[in-house]
């Protein structure tokens, strides 16, 4: 069976799995509602209440390499937070914060100058007129459970909306919301080359 490598723009509320056996009375959307390709599996996860880029493949070794934290595969997110973070808070996120007894690894974090262009979220975030919001761009090389939400909360700026915009060299802006596609030949080549080089370094 040939290897497949897919990109998917996951909407809010969609589970990062193909079945939902945990909630039989209230069916939730899964990847099967969008992707009619058999035997592919997500590389890493996006929480149900997060949006954005998801990579799927039937290449088990690649899936392991990209999911294992020791390979330090960068992922970039746009993060809408409550209130406007100050310089000190951003520096704390960059150098590492304590999350559930664990200090996060250094991350690239910057305050975006304006709200990024994204499809409206359904449902929209809670709008509180007297509390401003801001958008951060955060690039992490690890992906612990709900890590970004824990990180921003730890410095006093709760996450309101979370969108993954890139996985390594792969970008969200090549897709529309709910759309999937195969990687191009050149995208596959770069992905496999980077994964192989990372494996040789370990």
- Residues with a known catalytic role: 47
Distance between CA atoms of residues 22 and 58, nearest Å: 24
E strand segments, the chain: 5-10, 41-42, 51-57, 75-82, 98-99, 102-103, 108-111, 133-140, 159-167, 170-171, 180-182
Q: Which two tokens stand for residue 29?
A: 């959307």
Q: How far apart are CA 10 and CA 30, in angstroms?
A: 10
Interatomic CA distance for residues 188 and 172, integer angstroms = 16
């Amino acid at each position: 069976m040939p290897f497949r490598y897919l990109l998917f723009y996951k909407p809010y509320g969609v589970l990062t799995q193909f079945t939902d056996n945990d909630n039989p009375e209230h069916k939730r959307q899964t990847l099967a509602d969008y992707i009619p390709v058999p035997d592919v599996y997500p590389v890493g996860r996006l929480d149900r209440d997060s949006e954005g880029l998801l990579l799927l493949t039937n290449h088990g070794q690649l899936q392991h390499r990209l999911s294992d934290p020791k390979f330090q595969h960068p992922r970039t997110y746009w993060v809408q937070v409550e209130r406007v973070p100050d310089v000190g808070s951003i520096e704390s996120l960059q150098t590492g914060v304590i999350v559930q007894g664990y200090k996060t690894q250094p991350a690239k974090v910057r305050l975006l100058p304006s709200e990024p262009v994204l499809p409206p979220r359904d449902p929209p975030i809670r709008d509180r007129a007297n509390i401003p919001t801001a958008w951060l761009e955060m690039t992490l090389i690890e992906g612990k459970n709900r890590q970004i939400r824990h990180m921003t909360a730890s410095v006093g700026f709760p996450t309101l909306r979370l969108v993954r915009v890139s996985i390594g060299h792969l970008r969200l802006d090549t897709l529309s919301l709910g759309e999937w596609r195969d990687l191009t030949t050149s995208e596959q080549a770069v992905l496999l080359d980077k994964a192989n080089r990372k494996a040789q370094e370990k």
